[in-house]
C-alpha cells in the first residue's frame, strides 16, 4: 500500500465503511476523514485497497459473530447483510464514489474468501509454493474471490500471512511459525481452503482430515481418495481389482528389502526392462530412477527407499507416448481434451517437469480420436472408483503399435505452475484460468453442503 496513506487514514476509512454496514452515525471523525480525502483521491489504488481491507475485516467479523451471540463481540452491533447501496451512498457523500466504482464495491462485498495452503513437509515443498504463486495470480482474474496464502514450513509449522508473503518471494520456508494445529484455526475464518501442498502431509489425506474436523469447505478430494491416490501401491491394487489397464509391477517395503533383497530383485526381473523404481508416496518424480540393467536395480531401490518405507517397481513399456487428461467435478465429473507431453530426457523426471523448455506440451494431442475417447472414459471411471472430488489429473501411457493404453497414476493436487498441464488442458476445453479457480471453489462449497 502506498506510503502516502498512513495507518490513521486506514482507520478512518474503515470507520467510514463500518458506519455504513452497521447503520449508525459516523464516529465523530468527519473532520479527520475530510482532511484525508485529498490523499485518498490522489491515490486511487490505495483507496481501493483500503476499502477491500475494510470488507475483508468485516466479513471476518461476521463469521466470528456467527459462532458467537447475536449481540456481537465487544459491544459491536451485529452487521447486517451486504449493504452495497448504503456503502455507495456514504462514499458518494464524501465524493469518493467516482474513485471506487459500484462494480468494484459489489465484487468486494460478495466475494468468497479463499485460504491457499502451500509449502509443507514433503520434498515437493518448493513446487507447492510455485503452484501457490500461480494460483494467487489466477485469483486476480476471478473478481469474486479474495485469496490469502499461508505457507507451511518444512518443519510443518504454520506461518503468518506476512511471513508467508516473504516465503512466496523466497520460494521456500524452512523455519518459524506456529504449530500446525494451532495455526489451522485461522482456516475457520475463510469460506474455502484451497490445499496446494503436494506430496505427503498435504496431498495424502492428512490436511484434508484436519479440515474435515474443523468443518471447513476445501477444494479437492476427501480423506479417502487423497490417501489412496497418494499411495501408488494402493491405487494400483484397487485399479487392478476393477480391470483398469496398467503396467505390471512389484511392491516392496524397506524391511522386506533389508531382510531378503535377492527375492525382490528376482521378482522384479520377471517384469520387462527397463524398470522404473519409485517411492510409494511421493510425486513430481522425486526419488524415481530408471534401471535398464538388473545390476542397476539395487541402487534404484535404495534411492526410492530414502524417501519412503515402501516402494514400487514398474515394468517399462517400449515406444509409448505420454498422454494426460484433466478431470473436473464431484458426482458427475467431466474430462478435458487429452494432452501430450514430449521431451528429450531419458524419462519425465523432476528437472524436466519444472524447468521451462525441457518438456513440450501438445494440447490437444494428435493421437487418434478413439484413443482419446478411451482415455477420457477410463479416467472418469477411475476417478469415480477412487471417490475423487473436485479435480484430478490422470496420466496414461499410449503404445501406438498395439493401440493399448495404460493408466499410470491419478494426481489429486495437480500442479498450478505456469508449465502445468491441468489448467492448460481446461483452457483448451473452454475454461480459462480464473473461471477454473472459481469453479473449483464452487465445487468445494457444493460438496461441503452435501456432506453436511
Q: Annotate 286-341 with DSSP letters as a single string.
A: TT-EEESSGGGHHHHHHHHHTT-SEEEEEE--SS-EEEEEEEEESSS-EE---EEE
pLDDT of residue 327: 98
Mean pLDDT of 103-108: 54
447 plus 326 within the same structural domain: yes
- What's the CA gap between 112 and 352, in Å, rounded? 36
The answer, yes or no, to whether residue 78 has pLDDT greater than 60, is no
CB of 9 closer than 8 Å to CB of 17:
no
Q: Which residue has the cell 500446525?
A: 180
- Does residue 240 form part of some domain? no
Q: How many domains, the chain?
A: 4
95 plus 148 within the same structural domain: no
197 plus 258 within the same structural domain: no
- Does residue 231 form part of some domain? no
Q: Which of 7-21, 239-253, 346-360 has the lowest mean pLDDT?
A: 7-21
CB of 421 closer than 8 Å to CB of 326:
yes
65 plus 139 within the same structural domain: no
385 plus 364 within the same structural domain: yes
Mean pLDDT of 83-106: 50
Give the CATH number of the domain where residue 408 resides. 3.30.470.20
183 versus 231: the higher-pLDDT residue is 231
Give the CATH number of the domain where residue 286 resides. 3.30.1490.20
- What's the CA gap between 319 and 314, in Å, rounded? 16
Compute the C-alpha angle 318/320/322, nearest 5°. 145
Cβ contacts of 83 within 8 Å, gap of 6 or more: 20, 21, 23
- Does residue 173 form part of some domain? yes
329 plus 446 within the same structural domain: yes
Neighbours of 32 (CB within 10 A): 14
Express as a percent the part of the chain with pLDDT over 70: 70
Mean pLDDT of 92-107: 52
The answer, yes or no, to whether residue 32 has pLDDT greater than 70, is no
Neighbours of 385 (CB within 10 A): 17
pLDDT of residue 122: 81
26 plus 90 within the same structural domain: yes
144 plus 187 within the same structural domain: yes
- What's the CA gap between 182 and 97, in Å, rounded? 41
State pLDDT tens for residues 47-77. 555 555 555 555 555 445 444 433 333 332 2
- Does residue 227 form part of some domain? no
- Does residue 236 form part of some domain? no
- Does residue 421 form part of some domain? yes
348 versus 26: the higher-pLDDT residue is 348
- Which residue range is the domain that position 201 belongs to? 112-220
- Does residue 176 form part of some domain? yes
> Of 24-28, 79-83, 275-279, where does the model show the most confidence?
275-279
- Does residue 241 form part of some domain? no
Mean pLDDT of 170-196: 79
State pLDDT tens for residues 400-424. 999 999 999 999 999 887 678 999 9
CA nearest 319: which of 285, 351, 274? 274
Work out the pLDDT band at 30, boundaries 50, 70, 90: very low
CB environment 169-198: b (16+ within 10 A), e (fewer): eeeebeeebeebeebbebbebbbbbbbbbb
Work out the pLDDT band at 45, boundaries 50, 70, 90: low
Amino acid at each position: 500500500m502506498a506510503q502516502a496513506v498512513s495507518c490513521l487514514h486506514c482507520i478512518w476509512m474503515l470507520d467510514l465503511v463500518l458506519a455504513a454496514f452497521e447503520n449508525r452515525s459516523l464516529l465523530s471523525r468527519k473532520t479527520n476523514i475530510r482532511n484525508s480525502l485529498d490523499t485518498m483521491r490522489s491515490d486511487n489504488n490505495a483507496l481501493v485497497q483500503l476499502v477491500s481491507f475494510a470488507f475483508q475485516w468485516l466479513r471476518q467479523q461476521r463469521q466470528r459473530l456467527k459462532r458467537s451471540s447475536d449481540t456481537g463481540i465487544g459491544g459491536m452491533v451485529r452487521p447486517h447483510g451486504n449493504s452495497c447501496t448504503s456503502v455507495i451512498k456514504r462514499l458518494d457523500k464524501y465524493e469518493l464514489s467516482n474513485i471506487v466504482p459500484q462494480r468494484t464495491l459489489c465484487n468486494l462485498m460478495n466475494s468468497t474468501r479463499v485460504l491457499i495452503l502451500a509449502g509443507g513437509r514433503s520434498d515437493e515443498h518448493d513446487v507447492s509454493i510455485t503452484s501457490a504463486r500461480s494460483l494467487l495470480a489466477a485469483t486476480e482474474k476471478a473478481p469474486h474471490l479474495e485469496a490469502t496464502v499461508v505457507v507451511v514450513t518444512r518443519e510443518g509449522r504454520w506461518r503468518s500471512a506476512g511471513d508467508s508473503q516473504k516465503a512466496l518471494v523466497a520460494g521456500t520456508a524452512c523455519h518459524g511459525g506456529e504449530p500446525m494445529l494451532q495455526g489451522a484455526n485461522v482456516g475457520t475464518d475463510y469460506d474455502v481452503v484451497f490445499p496446494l501442498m503436494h506430496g505427503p502431509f498435504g496431498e495424502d489425506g492428512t490436511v484434508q482430515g484436519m479440515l474435515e474436523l474443523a468443518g471447513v469447505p476445501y477444494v479437492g478430494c476427501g480423506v479417502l481418495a487423497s490417501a489412496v491416490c497418494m499411495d501408488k501401491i494402493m491405487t494400483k491394487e484397487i485399479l487392478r481389482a476393477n480391470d483398469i489397464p496398467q503396467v505390471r509391477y512389484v511392491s516392496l517395503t524397506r524391511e522386506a528389502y533389508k531382510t531378503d533383497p535377492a527375492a525382490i530383485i528376482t521378482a522384479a526381473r520377471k517384469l520387462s526392462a527397463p524398470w522404473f523404481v519409485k517411492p510409494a508416496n511421493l510425486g513430481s518424480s522425486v526419488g524415481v530412477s530408471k534401471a535398464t540393467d538388473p545390476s542397476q536395480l539395487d541402487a534404484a531401490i535404495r534411492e526410492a527407499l530414502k524417501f519412503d518405507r515402501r516402494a514400487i517397481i514398474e515394468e517399462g513399456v517400449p515406444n509409448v507416448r505420454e498422454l494426460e487428461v484433466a478431470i473436473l467435478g464431484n458426482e458427475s465429473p467431466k474430462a478435458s481434451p487429452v494432452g501430450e507431453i514430449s521431451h528429450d530426457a531419458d524419462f519425465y523426471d523432476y528437472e524436466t517437469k519444472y524447468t521451462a523448455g525441457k518438456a513440450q506440451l501438445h494440447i490437444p494431442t494428435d493421437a487418434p480420436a478413439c484413443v482419446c475417447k478411451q482415455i477420457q472414459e477410463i479416467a472418469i471411471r477411475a476417478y469415480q472408483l477412487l471417490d475423487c472430488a473436485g479435480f484430478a489429473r490422470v496420466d496414461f501411457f499410449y503404445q501406438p503399435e498395439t493401440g493399448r493404453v495404460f493408466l499410470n497414476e491419478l494426481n489429486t493436487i495437480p500442479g498450478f505452475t505456469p508449465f502445468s498441464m491441468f489448467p492448460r488442458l481446461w483452457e483448451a476445453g473452454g475454461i480459462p484460468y480464473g473461471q477454473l479457480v472459481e469453479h473449483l471453489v464452487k465445487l468445494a462449497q457444493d460438496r461441503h453442503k452435501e456432506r453436511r
